[in-house]
């Protein structure tokens, strides 16, 4: 059996496993690479070279950049703007999301655009009461369309423009692609809106809840009618040596001030009566005048004043709310608790038992008690690691969705701007630009190194890295040339549009299993030879190859943008072809009709 036949056989086995959908897609990709090595189609180095491919590196870095935008609140702000301006209408939201993605793809490539808007679209879908699956596939397809708006939109554009310059001396202009790209963007949006029933309603394995209104929701379950003051005993203060209650009895006008407890640092209040030491904190409630008299007469320092029910005061860029539960076997069971106490850097605002708020009463904690706490975000998020408390909703997720444009937002936007500038200017390759962007996100402390590692979708990385050897084998074994020559021999001597149609179909078919750039590199020499034999100009032929190379809609492996949205939407391998086929036909019609008119053969 020839090498070409073996490569095509491995391709058929891989497609069958993907469609079967019983094995993880990453495992199928690894099996494919191993089969290619065992059958001698690629060397050991080529079998694993995909994991170090610049495309894989670029995609991995984009996940880190996306994580920075998400964690800094930029995503929450964009999602709010998207829903606010588009409403909760499926069609309006879909059009807005696709338009934004297409414009972004023109400067940061389809893969970068898909990764950047992914968290925004998921959040917007949740807020609009839609499944992410309803929006993400059309968004990925819009990214492919947007790549045809500018020369910098895709490596495919650069390849065909460079080939035209080498053969004719005049490349395509920077915005010349938009002549056909803009109609394709509009057609993509129209087909997606009209064909929304072609998109499956899948549930992702890990659904992201909408927590944008969570702070207001939990605040509505607590009265917070009376707040507390925290008063600290300064070093060498007059209160040292007094018992707390004895101290209050000495102050004239403090009869309405109620002592709830005393804390030494963040320790729990003792049940025993003892004298006060420096740095002890008295937790009291009462009228502002009475507390002011205590502070004045006893030389105390006000650490904190009562929190109001104003959500903007309790929850924002620096501080946030959380609700926690005392779990079974917690070491906190039996400890004294009351509003105003500080635990691990967060202040307890209220205590609830069996759904009833206990007010300012001192109580011993029991299993199932709920605490409403407030503190700096770092301290609130650290509660998730506390084994003695169960956080009702992930504080980090609450912050990301409910605090737009957080403290690190401008740093995140600056890192994104540098990445976009490097990509748009061509000063650096996409992989280097992505590494710069990801590095800036970590260096500027927008994300921690641990968050950066967790942000990368390793399934996507393994899938793409494992399939790159398949692209190599199909090209090097002669399988692509064999298929191409067989198809073109069927239309030899036919009308110009028939020749263009054959080239389009060839590129389209190869592009579903081979990367866009590899497909175009394979097809361009064949297309140039066909144009020469037929006596037609190169510009329309090469522009057609660019359009057909971007028509990557039938499978998730056709382009990384399709893969990026697969997991968050819960799509399966066979979900893409329905909408993808309708869109491919529409693109085919636009290309065959429009390109010969604009670029005369």
Q: What is the pLDDT of residue 510?
A: 79
Percentage of the chain modeled with pLDDT above 70 = 92
The region, left, alpha or beta by phi > 0 then psi within -120 to 50, assigned to residue 89 is beta
pLDDT exceeds cutoff 60 at 125: yes
pLDDT exceeds cutoff 80 at 268: no
Q: Confidence band (pLDDT; 50, 70, 90) for 489?
A: confident
Q: What is the pLDDT of residue 285?
A: 87
pLDDT, mean of residues 429-442: 90
Please determine, looking at this structure, whether the domain spanning 228-304 carries the CATH number 1.25.40.
no
Q: What is the pLDDT of residue 398?
A: 82
Q: What is the pLDDT of residue 206?
A: 64
pLDDT, mean of residues 115-126: 80
Q: What is the pLDDT of residue 255?
A: 65
**Cα separation of 471 and 515, whole Å?**
7
**Cα separation of 373 and 222, whole Å?**
11
**Cα separation of 364 and 28, whole Å?**
56
**Residues in CB range of 480: below 8 A, 6 or more apart:** 474, 510, 514, 522
**Cα separation of 595 and 112, whole Å?**
27
Spatial contact of 172 and 151, defined as CB atoms under 8 Å apart: yes
Q: What is the pLDDT of residue 105?
A: 83
pLDDT exceeds cutoff 60 at 436: yes
**Least reliable range by pLDDT among 274-278, 384-388, 498-502:** 274-278
The CA-based dihedral angle spanning residues 474, 480, 481, 487, taken in that order and rounded to the nearest 10 degrees: 160
Q: Confidence band (pLDDT; 50, 70, 90) for 493?
A: low
pLDDT exceeds cutoff 60 at 347: yes
Q: Confidence band (pLDDT; 50, 70, 90) for 518?
A: low
Q: Which two tokens stand for residue 338?
A: 């009351």
- Judged by DSSP in three states, 391 sits in strand
Q: Confidence band (pLDDT; 50, 70, 90) for 367?
A: very high
| Helix residue ranges, H only, 444-495 | 449-455, 458-476, 479-489
pLDDT digits (tens, 9 = 90+) for 552-578: 899 888 888 888 888 888 888 888 999
Q: Confidence band (pLDDT; 50, 70, 90) for 587?
A: very high
Q: Confidence band (pLDDT; 50, 70, 90) for 492?
A: low
The alpha carbons of the chain give a radius of gyration, in whole angstroms, of 31
Q: Which residue has the tokens 């391998």?
A: 573
pLDDT exceeds cutoff 80 at 495: no
- Judged by DSSP in three states, 311 sits in helix
pLDDT, mean of residues 477-486: 72
Q: What is the pLDDT of residue 420?
A: 79
Q: What is the pLDDT of residue 548?
A: 93
What φ, ψ does residue 531 adopt, rounded to 5°?
-65, -40
Q: Confidence band (pLDDT; 50, 70, 90) for 284?
A: confident
**Least reliable range by pLDDT among 195-204, 272-281, 378-387, 576-585:** 272-281
**Cα separation of 478 and 4, whole Å?**
5
pLDDT digits (tens, 9 = 90+) for 83-112: 777 777 888 889 999 998 898 888 767 877
pLDDT digits (tens, 9 = 90+) for 201-219: 887 766 666 677 778 888 8
CATH class for the domain made up of 311-392: alpha beta
Q: Confidence band (pLDDT; 50, 70, 90) for 71?
A: confident
Which has the higher per-residue pLDDT, 578 or 272?
578
Which has the higher per-residue pLDDT, 252 or 360?
360
pLDDT exceeds cutoff 80 at 25: no
Q: Confidence band (pLDDT; 50, 70, 90) for 524?
A: confident
pLDDT, mean of residues 390-403: 82
Q: What is the pLDDT of residue 210?
A: 67
**Cα separation of 536 and 554, whole Å?**
30
Q: What is the pLDDT of residue 211?
A: 72
Q: What is the pLDDT of residue 586?
A: 96
**Cα separation of 521 and 517, whole Å?**
6
pLDDT, mean of residues 248-264: 75
pLDDT digits (tens, 9 = 90+) for 142-159: 999 998 998 767 778 877
pLDDT exceeds cutoff 90 at 422: no
pLDDT digits (tens, 9 = 90+) for 447-473: 989 889 988 878 778 877 887 787 778
Most confident of 165-179, 317-331, 409-423, 581-595: 581-595
Instruction: Break the chain into its structural domains and give their ranges.
Output: 228-304, 311-392, 479-550+578-598
Q: Confidence band (pLDDT; 50, 70, 90) for 118?
A: confident
Q: Confidence band (pLDDT; 50, 70, 90) for 172?
A: confident
* Topology alike, domains 228-304 and 311-392: yes
Average per-residue pLDDT for the chain: 83
Which has the higher per-residue pLDDT, 173 or 190?
190
Q: What is the pLDDT of residue 266?
A: 54
pLDDT exceeds cutoff 60 at 271: no
């Amino acid at each position: 059996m020839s090498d070409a036949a073996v490569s095509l056989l491995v391709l058929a086995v891989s497609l069958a496993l993907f469609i079967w959908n019983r094995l993880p897609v990453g495992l199928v990709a690894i099996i494919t690479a191993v089969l290619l090595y065992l059958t001698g189609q690629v060397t050991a180095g080529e079998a694993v070279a995909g994991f170090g491919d610049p495309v894989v590196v670029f995609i991995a870095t984009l996940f880190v950049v996306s994580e920075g935008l998400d964690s800094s609140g930029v995503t929450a702000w964009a999602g709010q703007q998207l829903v606010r301006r588009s409403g909760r209408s499926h069609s309006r939201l879909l059009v807005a999301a696709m338009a934004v993605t297409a414009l972004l793809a023109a400067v940061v490539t389809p893969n970068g655009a898909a990764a950047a808007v992914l968290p925004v679209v998921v959040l917007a879908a949740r807020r609009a009461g839609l499944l992410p699956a309803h929006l993400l596939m059309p968004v990925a397809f819009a990214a492919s369309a947007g790549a045809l708006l500018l020369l910098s939109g895709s490596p495919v554009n650069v390849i065909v423009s460079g080939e035209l310059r080498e053969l004719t001396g005049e490349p395509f202009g920077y915005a010349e692609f938009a002549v056909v790209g803009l109609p394709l963007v509009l057609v993509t949006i129209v087909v997606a809106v009209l064909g929304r029933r072609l998109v499956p309603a899948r549930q992702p394995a890990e659904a992201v809840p909408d927590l944008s209104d969570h702070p207001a929701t939990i605040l509505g379950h607590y009265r917070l009618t009376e707040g507390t003051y925290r008063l600290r005993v300064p070093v060498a203060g007059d209160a040292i040596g007094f018992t707390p209650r004895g101290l209050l009895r000495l102050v004239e006008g403090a009869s309405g001030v109620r002592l709830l407890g005393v804390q030494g640092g963040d320790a729990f209040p003792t049940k025993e009566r003892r004298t006060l030491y420096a740095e002890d904190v008295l937790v009291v409630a009462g009228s502002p005048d009475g507390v002011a008299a205590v502070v004045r007469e006893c030389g105390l320092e006000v650490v904190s004043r009562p929190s109001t029910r104003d959500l903007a005061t309790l929850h924002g860029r620096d501080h946030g709310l959380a609700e926690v539960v005392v779990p079974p076997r917690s070491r906190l069971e039996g400890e004294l608790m009351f509003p105003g106490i500080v635990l691990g850097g967060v202040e307890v605002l209220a205590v609830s038992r069996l759904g009833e708020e206990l007010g300012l009463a001192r109580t011993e904690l029991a299993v199932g008690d709920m605490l409403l706490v407030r503190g700096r975000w770092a301290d609130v998020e650290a509660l998730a690691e506390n084994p003695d408390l169960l956080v009702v909703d992930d504080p980090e997720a609450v912050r990301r969705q409910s605090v737009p444009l957080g403290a690190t937002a401008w740093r995140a936007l600056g890192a994104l701007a540098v990445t976009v500038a490097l990509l748009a200017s061509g000063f650096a390759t996409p992989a280097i630009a992505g590494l710069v962007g990801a590095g800036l996100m970590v260096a500027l402390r927008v994300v921690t190194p641990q968050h950066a590692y967790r942000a990368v979708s390793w399934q996507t990385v393994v899938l793409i890295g494992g399939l790159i050897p398949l692209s190599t084998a199909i090209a090097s074994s002669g399988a692509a040339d064999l298929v191409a020559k067989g198809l073109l021999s069927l239309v030899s001597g036919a009308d110009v549009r028939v020749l263009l149609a054959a080239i389009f179909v060839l590129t389209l078919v190869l592009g579903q299993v081979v990367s866009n750039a590899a497909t175009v590199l394979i097809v361009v020499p064949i297309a140039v030879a066909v144009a020469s034999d037929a006596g037609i100009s190169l510009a329309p032929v090469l522009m057609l190859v660019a359009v057909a190379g971007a028509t990557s809609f039938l499978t998730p492996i056709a382009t990384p943008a399709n893969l990026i949205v697969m997991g968050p939407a819960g799509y399966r391998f066979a979900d893409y072809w329905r909408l993808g086929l309708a869109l491919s036909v529409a693109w085919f019609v636009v290309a065959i009709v429009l390109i010969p008119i604009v670029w005369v053969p």
